[in-house]
């Protein structure tokens, strides 16, 4: 079941909210929480009912191990139990997500013919696995109080964030569950939640899915080694970069909005990453809760930045490499993670060098900030080519096209649109190449340009909702001008509604 489906919007969500509010208002707090757990399990099971047993089993085992860790005094036995818990979670993730890839690599190395039936990846297994590993580690560190089993179930299964994050931590959620049904600001939270959800739905349906119409044919063509032009190569890479941006941004907005409707605040997971001035800054803005998990439960335990420089950079590289593998079983994800690890090392070396040469109090200049943003975007776009490509060969082919290996000729259909440039391109002899695809490249480039401006310069959803005085904010008008807000919101929803027929999964559902 997708957030952008008729079933979710017109049946599942209204029924969930109405019953939840009735139970909460009647004083049945535990029943209201239990209802959310039931709805969340129904939401998960709708995709593949047999895998409902998997997540229930995972919850039972992890909760039992967590209780055991709370009862055992520090020592070898406690460490052994934690090891068992982590091994259990990683074994589930390893089997369902990486078994086929591992067998394929063994067959290549040893020229064997071992066959394994294709394994369907359980929805959200990467997310709820990491979330529960973090919980067990925190229990081991004695950072967790005893919580009710019902609260733990909601912590793992809460449907707004179950499928693609954010990856929440116990201290962010359990205190909210204790006051979950209090409704002092329900109208305000519901209004803000609906606005956030509508913004996210618009990003997904109107922006991300429209960009997919241009990105997908070009990446598919690269896999088939179709004769792509320089312009098509860059259009495909840029279209996918923006598609993923608005897809993940849209999901993040919808998740936060849905949670707000139930008086729950989820951590912000997306903060205008294409405005980043460095790769370090990018990872403080993109998938923020994954970066936090990798930092707290992998990078710091490896020694973080408290070790000698060579090991420090090794830890950084390994963390990003494993972050890439977390996203998917394939060499493209390994290369993507390694690329970001390498870029982070270069970024840290650059900062250390500038600090040594210019002093710790140096300030960035406007030209420095501009160059930083351009270089960061370039590195990120190159990384996304590997992230999206189905094979390493397809990624290298598309990158080669972007570097001009197929020449710089303007496709004839694009040249026909650029009447005012035809004489110029004729002069330089770069017109008239035959494209291997049949897409409306000119329309795609216009869409990329317009949505690129939105991603690079417009305020994000969090800035719009928060009444900080810097932007035209919704928060002032939600309560002061409800009629105006209602008309605007209804108009936008109607436009989104007529485009819902192109129902498409969120990209991060695959991870």
Helical packing angle, 331-358 and 366-388, nearest 10°: 170
Query: What is the longest distance spanned by two Cα atoms in the chain?
Result: 81
Distance CA 85, CA 62 (A): 7
Spatial separation of the C-alpha atoms in residues 426 and 265, rounded to whole Å: 58
Pseudo-torsion of CA 199, 204, 209, 215, nearest 10°? 110
CA angle 62, 63, 66 (to 5 degrees): 85
Which residues fall within 8 angstroms of residue 504, CB to CB, at 6 or more apart?
2, 4, 209, 212
For 402-455, give the secondary structure using H, E and C. Answer: HCCCCCCCEEHHHHHHCHHHHHHHHHHCCEEECCCCCCCHHHHHHHHHHHHHHH
User: How big is the chain, counted in residues?
Assistant: 511
- Supply the DSSP symbol for 5: S
Q: 3-class SS at 226?
A: coil
Residues 6+ apart with CB under 8 A from 196: 253, 254, 256, 257, 260, 461, 465
* 3 state DSSP class of 511: coil
Q: How far apart are CA 473 and CA 477, in angstroms?
A: 8
327: annotated active-site residue: yes
Whether the CB-CB separation of 310 and 282 falls below 8 Å is answered with: no
Give the active site residue among 287, 327, 340, 348.
Answer: 327
- Cβ atoms of residues 135 and 170 within 8 Å: yes
Catalogue the active-site residues: 327
């Amino acid at each position: 079941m997708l957030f952008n489906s008729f079933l979710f919007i017109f049946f599942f969500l209204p029924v969930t909210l109405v019953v939840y509010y009735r139970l909460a208002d009647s004083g049945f707090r535990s029943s209201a929480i239990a209802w959310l757990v039931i709805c969340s399990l129904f939401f998960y099971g709708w995709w593949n009912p047999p895998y409902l047993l998997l997540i229930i089993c995972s919850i039972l085992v992890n909760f039992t191990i967590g209780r055991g860790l709370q009862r055992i005094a520090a020592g070898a036995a406690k460490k052994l139990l934690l090891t068992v818990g982590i091994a259990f979670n990683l074994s589930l993730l390893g089997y369902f997500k990486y078994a086929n890839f591992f067998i394929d690599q063994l067959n290549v190395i040893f020229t064997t013919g071992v066959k394994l039936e294709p394994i369907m990846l359980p929805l959200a297994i990467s997310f709820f696995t990491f979330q529960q590993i973090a919980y067990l580690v925190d229990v081991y560190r004695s950072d967790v109080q005893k919580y009710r089993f019902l609260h733990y179930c909601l912590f793992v299964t809460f449907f707004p964030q179950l499928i693609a994050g954010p990856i929440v931590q116990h201290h962010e959620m359990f205190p909210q569950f204790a006051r979950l049904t209090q409704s002092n600001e329900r109208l305000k939270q519901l209004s803000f939640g609906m606005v956030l959800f509508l913004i996210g739905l618009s990003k997904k349906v109107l922006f991300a899915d429209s960009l997919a119409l241009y990105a997908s044919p070009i990446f598919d063509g690269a896999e088939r080694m179709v004769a792509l032009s320089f312009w098509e190569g860059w259009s495909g890479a840029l279209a996918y970069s923006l598609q993923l941006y608005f897809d993940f941004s849209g999901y993040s907005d919808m998740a936060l909005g849905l949670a707000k409707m139930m008086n729950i605040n989820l951590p912000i997971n997306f903060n205008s990453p294409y405005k980043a001035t460095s790769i370090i800054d990018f990872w403080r803005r993109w998938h923020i809760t994954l970066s936090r998990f990798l930092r707290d439960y992998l990078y710091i335990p490896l020694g973080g930045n408290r070790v000698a420089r060579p090991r420090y950079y090794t830890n950084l590289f390994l963390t990003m490499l494993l972050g890439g593998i977390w996203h998917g079983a394939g060499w493209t994800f390994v290369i993507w993670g390694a690329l970001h690890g390498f870029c982070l090392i270069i970024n840290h070396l650059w900062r250390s060098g500038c600090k040594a040469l210019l002093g710790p109090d140096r300030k960035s200049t406007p030209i420095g900030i501009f160059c930083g943003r351009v270089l960061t975007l370039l590195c990120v776009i190159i990384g996304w080519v590997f992230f999206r490509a189905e094979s390493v060969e397809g990624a290298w082919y598309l990158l080669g096209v972007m570097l001009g290996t197929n020449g710089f000729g303007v496709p004839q259909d694009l040249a026909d649109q650029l009447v005012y440039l035809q004489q110029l391109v004729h002069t330089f002899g770069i017109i008239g190449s035959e494209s291997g695809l049949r897409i409306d490249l000119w329309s795609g480039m216009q869409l990329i340009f317009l949505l690129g401006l939105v991603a690079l310069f417009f305020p994000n959803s969090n800035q719009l909702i928060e009444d900080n005085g810097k932007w035209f904010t919704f928060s002032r008008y939600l309560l002061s001008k409800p009629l105006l807000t209602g008309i605007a919101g209804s108009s936008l929803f109607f436009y989104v509604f007529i485009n819902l027929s192109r129902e498409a999964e969120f990209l991060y559902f695959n991870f």
